[in-house]
Chain A
Amino acid sequence: MPKEQPIELFMPPNMLKAKVGGTVGGIDVAAIKRAEAAMETLKADFADWVGNDVDRLVQCRDGFARARDVEARDDLFRAAHDIKGQATTFEYPLVARVASSLCKLMEALNSPEALPLNIVDAHVNAIRIIFRDKIKDRSNRMAIELAEELEARVVETTELAA
């Protein structure tokens, strides 16, 4: 099948470059250092932020257990997805890993009826425990085993459902 032919291909004037100037000379190391120092000042809040996200996940899990509908499923997915994306930045990489496993399960089993609550719960509980025990080290054996076990359950469950 032939490619769709472009009707128009054009280059708008580079207004950004005209505004910000600068020279092409690789990455500005000073800017990176300033931004990393600014991130350091936020670090004191990271645990509270992850805590808020975990609380929201638990609330969404409870909502999903009650309603088992698309809206509750989507709320739960957004909460898990936020943790997947953010927890590593906020120094809880294994919390992010377990949330990623929960997202994989939910992406594979899209309908609320198909989503096994016991496996959702296992993920939510693991996230709570890793956060409660302040496990920030990505080589923590207990947390890795927990994550691996959950990932294996997700593979097993999604393969059975396929």
Chain B
Amino acid sequence: MSGYRFDRLKILVVDDNAHMRKLVVTILQAFGAIQIFEADGGERAWGLLRDANPDVVILDWMMEGMSGLEFVRQLRSSPQTPNPFVPVIMLTGHTHIDHVRQARDAGVNEFLAKPVSVKAILTRLIAVIEHPRPYVRTKSYFGPCRRRRGHDEYRGPERRAAAEATAVD
């Protein structure tokens, strides 16, 4: 028994499909979550980000109006963002590796491919709680470190560029 107090967590569920929202919310409630906020699109979610200050966002990719990807980019980079560090679990029917890459490059923490399962949702929630990624700020990106876990521990100087230059020489 892992004993997580999900009742202490504020979770924002963003999906323009009411059925999928209901399914995800039902699963979260069964985990013990009680502070669940729902939005049917990116614009409404942006307002809730400010008003509810969620701890985790579960976000659909494909939505009318602002897409999930646009929402994450705005969340990470906009000067108006209420919390650029909030972990985002991207829920999507896209399953191609290019889509995973796009989501990661937008600043998504965890990728959850549909069809959803109870275990998959719990696993992703535990991942953002137990294995948070470090954050990176470069000229063109702000968000969770895009390297795979296990490489995150290295804190020394970046050596690859120098190594590549040596190899070319």
Give the interface of A toward B (CB within 8 A).
2-12, 14-17, 19-32, 34-39, 41-42, 45, 49, 52-53, 78, 81-82, 84-86, 88-90, 96, 103
> Would you call B4 and A20 a contact (CB within 8 A)?
yes
- Main SS class of interface, A: helix
Contacts of A31 in B (CB 8 A): 2, 4, 30-32, 122
Interface residue from B5, B62, B134, B161 paired with A21 (Cβ < 8 Å): B5
Q: Which chain B residue lies CB-closest to A80?
A: B93
CB distance from B19 to the nearest CB of A (A): 4
> Would you call A5 and B19 a contact (CB within 8 A)?
no
> Would you call A39 and B27 a contact (CB within 8 A)?
yes
Contacts of B30 in A (CB 8 A): 31, 34-35, 37-38
Interface residue from B118, B137, B145 paired with A32 (Cβ < 8 Å): B118
Using known A-B contacts A9-B145, A19-B8, A20-B8, determine if residue A42 contacts B26 with beta carbons closer than 8 Å: yes
CB distance from B13 to the nearest CB of A (A): 14
How many interface contacts (CB-CB < 8 Å) are there between A and B? 155
A35 to B130, CA, bound (A): 21
Interface residue from A16, A26, A103 paired with B2 (Cβ < 8 Å): A26
Give the interface of B toward A (CB within 8 A).
1-6, 8-9, 17, 19-20, 22-23, 26-27, 29-32, 55-56, 62-64, 85, 87, 92-93, 114-119, 121-123, 126, 128-130, 132, 134-140, 145, 155, 158, 160-161, 164-165
CB distance from A78 to the nearest CB of B (A): 6
Using known A-B contacts A22-B2, A23-B2, determine if residue A35 contacts B115 with beta carbons closer than 8 Å: no
Question: Could you write out 10 A-B pairs with CB less than 8 Å apart?
Answer: A5-B158, A7-B138, A11-B134, A15-B55, A20-B6, A28-B2, A28-B4, A35-B31, A53-B17, A88-B115
Interface residue from A16, A22, A41 paired with B3 (Cβ < 8 Å): A22
Q: Which chain A residue lies CB-closest to B119?
A: A32
> Would you call B87 and A10 a contact (CB within 8 A)?
no
Q: Which chain B residue lies CB-closest to A42?
A: B26
CB distance from B159 to the nearest CB of A (A): 10
Contacts of A86 in B (CB 8 A): 17, 19-20, 93, 114-115
